[in-house]
C-alpha cells in the first residue's frame, strides 16, 4: 500500500516545504481520511529513513539556491552526509565539482536568459519561413522583428 501512496503523491515531495498546505484538509482516498499536504508528506517520509534524509538534503539545497544563501550552501556541501542514497551522494559530489560556479551564480544577478530568448525567436523565424534564399532578406526579417529596422 505504501508503494501506491508514494506513486500518487511523489509530487508533494518535490514541492518547497514552505509551499506545502497545512491548513486545508482534503480527503485522500488512499488514506481514507481528510489530511493536509504536510501530513501526507510526513507520512511518506516516515516510510523510510533514507528517503527522509534525501528529502532534507534536497530541501536544504533548494532553499539555499532560491534564497541565495551562499554560506548555507557551502556548509551543506562540506558536511559529511550519512544515510543518503548513492544517487544523492553522487549528485552532491557533482555539486562540489561545480561549487565555484554555483556560488558565483548565487552572488551575481547576471543571466543569459535574454540572449537565449533572442536565439529562440531567431530559430522560430527560421523554422516558420521555410528558409530564405537570400541571407540579407533573412537578416532584415530578424531586424524587423526586433524593431532594429523599419519595414517599408
Taking only the tens place, the pLDDT of each residue in 102-145 is 999 889 888 888 899 999 999 998 888 877 888 888 888 888 88
Are 44 and 117 found together in one domain? no
Are 73 and 135 found together in one domain? no
Any domain includes 102: yes
Residue 67 domain boundaries: 2-107
The residue ranking higher by pLDDT, 3 or 131, is 3
Are 85 and 26 found together in one domain? yes
Q: Is the pLDDT confidence value at 151 over 80?
A: no
Are 17 and 87 found together in one domain? yes
Predicted pLDDT of residue 97: 95
Question: In the predicted model, what is the mean pLDDT of residues 50-58?
Answer: 94
Q: Is the pLDDT confidence value at 149 over 80?
A: no
Radius of gyration of the chain (CA): 24
Q: Is the pLDDT confidence value at 29 over 80?
A: yes
- Residue 131 zone, left/alpha/beta (φ > 0; ψ -120 to 50; rest): left
Q: Is the pLDDT confidence value at 150 over 90?
A: no
| Integer Cα distance of 63 and 53 in angstroms | 15
Q: Which residue is it, cell 543518503?
A: 84
Domains in the chain, number: 2
| Furthest CA-CA distance within the chain | 68
Amino acid at each position: 500500500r505504501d508503494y501506491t501512496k508514494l506513486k500518487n503523491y511523489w509530487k508533494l515531495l518535490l514541492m518547497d516545504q514552505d509551499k506545502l498546505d497545512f491548513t486545508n484538509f482534503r480527503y485522500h482516498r488512499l488514506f481514507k481520511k481528510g489530511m493536509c499536504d504536510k501530513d501526507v508528506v510526513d507520512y511518506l517520509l516516515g516510510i523510510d529513513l533514507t528517503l527522509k534524509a534525501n528529502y532534507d538534503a534536497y530541501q536544504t539545497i533548494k532553499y539555499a539556491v532560491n534564497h541565495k544563501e551562499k554560506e548555507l550552501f557551502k556548509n551543506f556541501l562540506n558536511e559529511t552526509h550519512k544515510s543518503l542514497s548513492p544517487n544523492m551522494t553522487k549528485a552532491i559530489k557533482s555539486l562540489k565539482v561545480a561549487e565555484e560556479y554555483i556560488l558565483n551564480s548565487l552572488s551575481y544577478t547576471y543571466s543569459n536568459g535574454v540572449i537565449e530568448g533572442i536565439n529562440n525567436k531567431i530559430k522560430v523565424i527560421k523554422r516558420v519561413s521555410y528558409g530564405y534564399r537570400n541571407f540579407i532578406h533573412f537578416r532584415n526579417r530578424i531586424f524587423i522583428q526586433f524593431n532594429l529596422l523599419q519595414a517599408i
